[in-house]
Structure formats: C-alpha cells, structure tokens
A = this chain, B = another copy of it.
Amino acid sequence: MTEQPGRRVRADARRNTDALLEAAAAVFATSGVDAPVREVATKAGVGVGTVYRHFPKRSDLVAAVFRHSVDSCADAAPVLAAEHGPGEALALWLQRYTSFIATKRGLAAALHSGDPAFDALPAYFDGRFRPALGALLESAVAAGEVRDDVEPGDLLRAVANLCLAGSDVGPDHSRRMVDLLVDGLRYGVSP
C-alpha cells in the first residue's frame, strides 16, 4: 500500500489501488465484509489478479478499507474544530464517529477471528482517534463547555458500545443516545 523505498509506483497501479479501496468500501457497506473479492474487483473495473497484487490476502483489503475510513473520520476532527465552536465541534464529530461505528458491524467479528492482518487495527484505531478526540475535548474543556474528567479512550469506547448494542432497536436510536451522552458531558462543568 504505502510505498516508501526507491521504487516508484506506476500511475496505473496507484489508480487501481484507489479504485479498489473505493469499490471495496462501497461493496462492504452494502453487502457486508463477507462480500466476495470478485465483486469488489468487478465494481472497481479490475481483474481479481490485480486485487491480489495490491492486497495479498482478502483480509488485507478489509484492513486497508478500515484504516482508510478511520483516517477520514479522524481527519474530520480538525476540520470541524476550525469551522465550529469547541462544544459544537465535539458534538458533531461524535456524530460522525457514530456513523463510522455503524458501518463497522461485521468487522467486530472479524477483528477477533485471529487473522494476523487485523492484529494492528485496534492500535491504529486508538492511535488515530484518541489524539483526534483528545484535541476536541481539550478545547471544549478549555472553553468551559464540557466537564474535565473524561478520558478520550473511555468516551470512544462508550460511544462504540452504545451504537453496537442499541442498533437493533431502531435507526436513530444511536444518534439520540450519543446526544444524551454529549449532554452528560456538558452537565457537570466546573465554573
């Protein structure tokens, strides 16, 4: 995926990896992470051989899509922070994170499948989300809009559990629960 050493990546190769990541994200979102590799290949307008050239194992593709979507969610944090007040940015990002989690249903099982391709994902998740949320929290705390006794990691986990557990109940149940949680953050502000 991410190449560094001397060898330069050919233009078509780069184009194909991008197309594959995009196609895979779409296919996994609609058909679940168990969708056949061929389906992804077709959607990307590419042969299976090409998929396996870029992602030696099926699980590498899944992991790459995961990392990719973690990145885009984490990268949204500074953008929101620049465009909104601290409290609102925090709330908006948590909603964004909520929908990220919602698309990761099938993955939860895969993560515990023992496939080594997934070993590094939890660390990646924390490494990207904790700082992202940490910054938002800090600003909100500094602005006095939010209490100061909440750890980013705990909040991430809490929201994730809330979403994964309450998903059967109804569509925007998760959204409401997360709103509730955010209100909870706002409650105990020390003057």
Interface residues, chain A, with chain B CB atoms under 8 Å away: 109, 112-113
Contact = CB atoms under 8 A, between A and B. Distances in A.
- The secondary structure that dominates the A interface is loop
A177 to B, nearest CB: 21
Copies, count: 2
A74 B109 CA distance: 30
Contacts of A113: 109
Contacts of A109: 109, 112-113
Leading 3 A-B pairs by shortest Cβ distance: A109-B109, A109-B112, A109-B113
A188 B185 CA distance: 39
Nearest to A112: B109
Nearest to A113: B109
Contacts of A112: 109
3 contacts: A109-B109, A109-B112, A109-B113
A109 B112 CA distance: 9
Nearest to A108: B112
A14 to B, nearest CB: 37
A131 B112 CA distance: 33
